[in-house]
Chain A
Amino acid sequence: MSANLSAFLYLVAGVLFILSLRGLSSPASSRQGNLFGMIGMGIAVATTLASHPPADGVAWLLVILAVAIGGGIGAVIARRVPMTSMPELVAAFHSLVGMAAVLVAAGAFYAPEAFDIGTPGNIHPQSLVEMSLGVAIGALTFTGSVIAFLKLSARMSGAPIILPFRHIINIALAAALVFFIVGLVLSGSAFDFWMIVILALALGVLMIIPIGGADMPVVISMLNSYSGWAAAGIGFTLGNSALIITGALVGSSGAILSYIMCHAMNRSFISVILGGFGGETAAAGGGTGEQKPAKLGSADDAAFIMKNASKVIIVPGYGMAVAQAQHALREMADILKKEGVEVKYAIHPVAGRMPGHMNVLLAEANVPYDEVFELEDINSEFAQADIAFVIGANDVTNPAAEEDKTSPIYGMPVLQVWKAGTVMFIKRSLASGYAGIDNPLFYRDNTMMLLGDAKKVTENIVKAM
């Protein structure tokens, strides 16, 4: 296959990847988009195998073996993973992209002639620059994602780990990294190459451990972005346009998602990176000041009031997913709809553990997507709603974000549930939320607290209906 033809086919693959993201602009076109992505990947793989076929039988065997092992593992994981675990799955996948980037660069370093970038020990300096950037970002993505995976899957505490002098350590590591990158470009030595890998691996760990559990949606988006830049770096080394285009797409996608998440939490990107947030939960949980009276209600009361309402807005949060209450919730909504009640769902951008997580969880429970609304689209409707039904959410409904300038979450966009006629709050206890902030909404006159497990309470309401 001629070099021109293969370069053209890589371009076609890149365009198909753009179309696959474009398809996600609406759920109706999304499935076709995913198909475009698969076709693009098929074209890229076939083009590589046709233009640079594996050198001998052993190489072919290795290719087939690796695809069978990797593909088999991937297919099984994709089928089995529960939707609540999507964040840790995505983090794990990011780590694989990062590690693959490092390994591909290592392969190119030891067999440069196969990649058309020079001969062993004599690689073009420009390729070394591109390679070292790809390797450094890839290694950083790998360890960073592993830590994010451990935190998200609760194999490691979500509390930030703050090392003394961590900024100085990080700056020293970064400086050493630059030193060895320059060294690699000048000398092309294997020692410099592996020092870059080791330093970047260490930097990845140190960057993510101080970031608290509450900021994980930002971290996971940020690592998404990094995995893209790493791929682009390798794409430059290989001179492969499919890889360059994809790396740029994924890099900007992750960056935009990080921005959206930061905006939704009213946090600056810098302060997330510096870390330390989300650790005060335990400390603030106990001492919430004077005891104020909250109005408690029963499932029967809730069922009666809701059946007589004309409009109910449901506000789900991560607590709902943890309690696996989404199916009971949908059952409740179905009964209400039969009674002629208008039911809508309101989703805050950080309602789950990753961007869009809550939408997937509701979709899994067969909630039609045209009943689910984003914050900007539904906030004006709470005033006309008879009932706001808050289940497993807390901080994203806290009026202190708009009213109390001293509150740590002041300025964060929140769902204005308090404007509804009655607010029903399903919660385990009156304790504060993830960010450790008391919610004054619990003690308002139009709030009815339904204490208990989200799933049990919802089931009791369904029974009472």
Chain B
Amino acid sequence: MEHAAQLVDPFIFRLSIFVLAVFVGYFVVWSVTPALHTPLMSVTNAISSVIVVGALLAVGVGMVSSGSGWARGFGFVALIFACVNIFGGFLVTQRMLAMYKKKSK
């Protein structure tokens, strides 16, 4: 999938992204108002289901070897779980956020 420079292992690129994202996460999350910590948890739940991309790869494999059937099976279940989380997570967050209202004048 990735054809990075020949001199540097692609792992190093991924590690760089990871380390920088940890720092971004650190600063962004501290700026989240405590009143929204519950929606924060439900939305982080929803976005961590981006693992769905792995599930899609597994369920979509061509039937080339004996392992392919297993991969499809695992991918299918993983896809169901991830979709419960994506739909459930984003929708429940939306439902919660819709309740936060300002003082009516």
Contact = CB atoms under 8 A, between A and B. Distances in A.
A59 B59 contact: yes
Interface stretch (A95-103, A165-173, A429-437): A95-103
B63 A55 contact: yes
Contact of A81 (B48, B82, B92): B92
Interface string B46-75: 111111111111111111110110111011
A368 interface: yes
Contact of B14 (A30, A107, A239): A239
Interface string A238-271: 1111111111111111101100100000000000
A368 B54 contact: no
Contact of B44 (A70, A249, A359): A249
Nearest to A106: B74
A370 B100 CA distance: 9
A24 B97 CA distance: 9
A320 to B, nearest CB: 16
Given A38-B90, A355-B41, A53 B83 contact: no
Interface in B68-105: 68, 70-72, 74-104
A322 B22 CA distance: 37
A191 interface: no
Interface in B6-55: 10-11, 14, 17-19, 21-22, 24-26, 28-55
Given A27-B33, A55-B62, A243-B53, A370 B103 contact: yes
A247 B19 CA distance: 11
A247 B48 contact: yes
A256 B29 CA distance: 7
A111 B71 contact: yes
Given A74-B85, A97-B51, A360-B96, A3 B1 contact: yes
A182 to B, nearest CB: 19
Interface residues of B, number: 88
Given A21-B28, A248-B22, A27 B97 contact: yes
A48 B53 contact: yes
Contacts of A279: none
A73 B83 CA distance: 9
Contacts of A371: 103
Interface residues of A, number: 127
Nearest to A6: B1
Contact of A368 (B26, B57, B76, B102): B102
A374 B40 CA distance: 17
Contact of B30 (A49, A65, A256): A256
A59 B44 contact: no
Given A31-B98, A370-B103, A24 B39 contact: yes
Contact of A359 (B38, B48, B53, B60): B38
Interface stretch (A202-210, A220-228, A295-303): A220-228
Given A44-B50, A55-B62, A359 B56 contact: no
A355 B32 CA distance: 12
Contact of A234 (B54, B65, B77): B54
B39 to A, nearest CB: 6
B40 A86 contact: no
A292 interface: no
A131 to B, nearest CB: 11
Nearest to B89: A93
Contacts of A110: 67-68, 70-71, 74
Nearest to A99: B81
A143 interface: no
Given A24-B36, A355-B41, 6 more contacts: A71-B84, A74-B89, A114-B60, A235-B14, A246-B48, A252-B25
For the complex of A and B, list the 7 residue pairs with the smallest distance between their C-beta atoms, beginning with the closest.
Answer: A70-B83, A107-B58, A356-B37, A74-B87, A74-B88, A54-B60, A111-B71
Interface of A: 3, 6-7, 10, 13-14, 17-18, 20-22, 24-28, 30-31, 33-34, 37-38, 40-41, 44-45, 47-49, 51-56, 59, 62-63, 65-67, 69-75, 77-79, 81, 83, 86, 89-90, 93-94, 96-97, 99-101, 103-111, 113-116, 120, 126, 220-221, 224, 227-228, 231-232, 234-254, 256-257, 260, 347, 349, 352, 354-357, 359-360, 363-364, 366, 368-372, 374
Interface of B: 1-3, 10-11, 14, 17-19, 21-22, 24-26, 28-65, 67-68, 70-72, 74-104
20 contacts: A18-B21, A21-B32, A48-B52, A66-B79, A70-B87, A71-B87, A72-B87, A78-B92, A89-B92, A97-B48, A104-B74, A107-B58, A242-B53, A245-B21, A250-B47, A251-B22, A253-B44, A257-B40, A359-B36, A366-B101
